[in-house]
Amino acid sequence: MSKLEEKKLSGVEYYRNSFLHIHEDDVLLPDGGQSKRIVVTHVGAVNIIALTAEKELLLVRQYRYPLGVETIETPAGKLEADEAPTVTAKRELEEETGYTCEALVQLGTHATAPGFTNEVLHQFLATGVTKLDVAVSGDEDEFTELLTISKDQALRMVKNGEIFDLKTVYAIQYLTLAGLW
């Protein structure tokens, strides 16, 4: 055990579904004491940063029940069982936007909220983005609206709080700092 590591002693599971479960663990602290940790175990997800040929960012507007508001976000979604993150990313891009891409470049994998969940987000840059000749399907319980915005619009929307989803703010900063916009 490292000098900062906490070791699980026991645990109780409170909820489980196909992509997450919530449990409370008793842990041994580095100083020998004990504490409790509530953990949300998540299958992981992808985030897709996709620019059209006109240099507009593909975004979706959707209602987010936990927040009680509509949000503007990059296309994203959870990993399916035994599905590689690149497969998930391409599927989610097509389902949520009606666009496809020639290639996906993985930019990194980031922890979303390490204080209470093990969820990691695989960040992808979609290249060669083109519109498909099919309707946007999405999940049966997911209602979205496609948006395409310019760099100036994106920066203004972040500044005024219209875009506050962190993975989307990351996407806008990445495109700007990498000189792709």
Tell me which residues are annotated as active site: 140
Outline where DSSP puts E strands in the chain. 7-16, 20-28, 34-42, 45-50, 57-64, 69-73, 76-78, 99-100, 103-111, 120-127, 130-131, 144-149
Are the CB atoms for 62 and 142 separated by under 8 Å?
yes
Query: What is the β-pairing status of strands 99-100 and 130-131?
Result: antiparallel
| 10 three-state secondary structure | strand
